[in-house]
Amino acid sequence: MTTRPPVPPFTLETATQKVRGAEDAWNSRDPERVALVYTEDTEWRNRAEFPKGREAVKQFLKRKWEKELDYRLIKELWAFGDNRLAVRFAYEWRDDSGNWFRSYGNENWEFTEAGLMRRRFASINDLPIKPDERLYHWPLGGRPDDHPGLSALGL
């Protein structure tokens, strides 16, 4: 069985590490890489889609990043328990017509003892923004360590 540290039960430190690891993976925009942190039978709710299984997640992510261009994400731990994390996030992206958006949301995550995510339930809202309202200006890829997080940005 594959293990994805940190594993439950979570502490504040390990929960924060898990969230930052997820943020870094999603900022790679690599469906193959991201999907490896989910169980083979993972269950999701993402807006009006309900992917079930790692392969369905890969296909979902591929479609997502074909639509959401110049995607940059920040995640922040909200709460944690033994094998569950609550996360809030905001990401910025543009469509193929050059319209920018900031998408806000919350996620509830449940993990196996091996640290793989078994369940992910996301609620997301999109806010159109003007290009000069963007707050995420780092090069595509992982957020630099010195870039402010959601709370520091007032989000």
CATH code for position 148 = 3.10.450.50
In a domain, 5, yes or no: no
pTM of the model: 0.96
Position 1 in a domain:
no
Residue 6 lies in a domain: no
Total domains, the chain: 1
Report long-range pairs for 61-70 (Cβ below 8 Å, ≥24 apart). 61/31, 61/34, 61/35, 62/31, 65/29, 65/31, 67/95, 67/96, 68/93, 68/94, 68/95, 69/93, 69/94, 69/95, 69/96, 70/94, 70/140
Q: Domain of 73?
A: 12-136+144-153
* 61 inside domain: yes
Mean pLDDT, range 126-133, rounded to an integer: 98
pLDDT score recorded for residue 118? 98
Q: Is the pLDDT of residue 80 over 80?
A: yes
| Whether the predicted pLDDT of 66 surpasses 90 | yes
Is 112 among the domain residues?
yes
Residue 31 has pLDDT above 80, yes or no: yes
Q: How confident is the model at residue 62 (pLDDT cuts 50, 70, 90)?
A: very high
